[in-house]
Amino acid sequence: MISIYQQHIQKLQQTFESALQENDFESVLIYSGHSGYGFRDDNAYPFKTNPHFKYWLPLTKQPESFVLVEVGKKPHLFLNQKLDYWHAQPQLPDGEWQQHFDLTIITNIADVKNAVKDKTKSLAYIGLPITEDLSLGAINPALLINQIEYNRAYKTEYEIECLRVANFMAAKAHVVAKDAFYAGKTELEIHQAYLESLNIRESGLPYNNIIAFNHNASVLHYDDYQTEQPQQRLSFLIDAGAEFNGYNADISRTYLNGTSEFQQMFDAYQVEYFDLLSEIEVNKAYFDFHDSAHRRISKLLSEFDIVKCDAQQTYEKGYSQLFFPCGVGHYIGTQVHDVGGHFANKQGELLSKDPRYPHLRLLRRMEKNTVFTVEPGIYFIDQLLDTVKDNTDFNWNRVEQFKPYGGFRLEDSIAMNQGNVENLSIDAFNKL
């Protein structure tokens, strides 16, 4: 019986062969990447694998390695195992992947030059620039990359299964973090508990965890973990993920201490959130989905007397954008913010942006076999509120009352698995 990974490799081979032929190439060499260095420093940044490399292989700790994909041939892995007594050698994990790749061990990046020297006229190269002159063909050809990244939106069953596992790992760690919050731990201690629950170091996260108490939750990408307790522990917003075989989870939850009018607004938000999820269906424009989130947030801002307008006026005046300036979600896969969300077609033509929503990362329709996040929120952001501080449409007493809580959001990953709506994140929590 054919495995889901073998199906994945076969689908990638078909997709890449088509893209190569349409762009007048016969092969593509994909570089895993290498660690960079700070200015005038010999201390390397943590290594992060090229997402195009781990699209083919569940290998995330193999720098300076290559996958060669050729029309009509089995893919070939050039695995760098250079002798280096300064660093631990990356361990080659067992797995089914070994059955589907020819393997050559290399000890120097230059070794690859000899292997492809007769192919360079019809060879494309995808990856970070390499300082050595290896004459590796066309470097990062835009039309080829556009076609590949457009198609990366359509996930195979193998990819969706990897995303399921990543969400399950993250959900377990989220429960640990929630318990640590209610046990009185600091932001830094919660972050450390999250890492410990996954048995990883910080560089093993798909992105910097957001572990935010109180007003810190109004900073959209907050990661300045405090080591001391605030005077009051009003709220806790966590946005944290996990990685499995190079595929990522991205989950957000919010927890509040005690009862308050802010809790009542959060309760009402949760009703709107799940109603928004019920709108998900094949062929729905993600832009319309995002716009619906703004209409729902406008309704909450009006109902809870943050603005003095009704819901429709709040929406039409754009006030929701002050409290929800980011997009409602994005594709997710081998990258947390996976690519291709603005492409109209495989040639890389872009869909038109709406000037109201400049930060929306996904403009395509909700299609079968795609995976995207949903993460509307309400935040009390000083910099944005200061731009309208003289506007009498706002109930500034109410704003000041809610500011100390910072804000809230929920975030789940949704798989349109053969058109069925599968909430990977909620399903993961339900399995705990």
Q: Are 158 and 197 in contact (CB under 8 A)?
A: no
Q: Shortest CA distance to 388 belongs to which of 318, 299, 316, 313?
A: 318
The angle at the Cα of 266, spanning 432 to 298, to the nearest 5 degrees, equals: 130
Q: Are 380 and 389 in contact (CB under 8 A)?
A: no
Distance CA(159)–CA(413), nearest Å, equals 13
Q: Are 34 and 128 in contact (CB under 8 A)?
A: yes
Distance CA(51)–CA(127), nearest Å, equals 9
DSSP class of residue 285 equals: B
Is 243 flagged in the annotation as binding?
A: no
Distance CA(215)–CA(234), nearest Å, equals 9
Is 133 flagged in the annotation as binding?
A: no
Q: Shortest CA distance to 319 belongs to which of 401, 384, 396, 271?
A: 384
Is 330 flagged in the annotation as binding?
A: yes
Is 386 flagged in the annotation as binding?
A: no
Q: Are 187 and 211 in contact (CB under 8 A)?
A: yes
Distance CA(170)–CA(240), nearest Å, equals 7
Is 390 flagged in the annotation as binding?
A: no
Distance CA(5)–CA(1), nearest Å, equals 12
The binding site for Mn(2+) consists of: 239, 250, 330, 375, 411
Binding-site annotation: residue ranges: 239, 250, 330, 375, 411
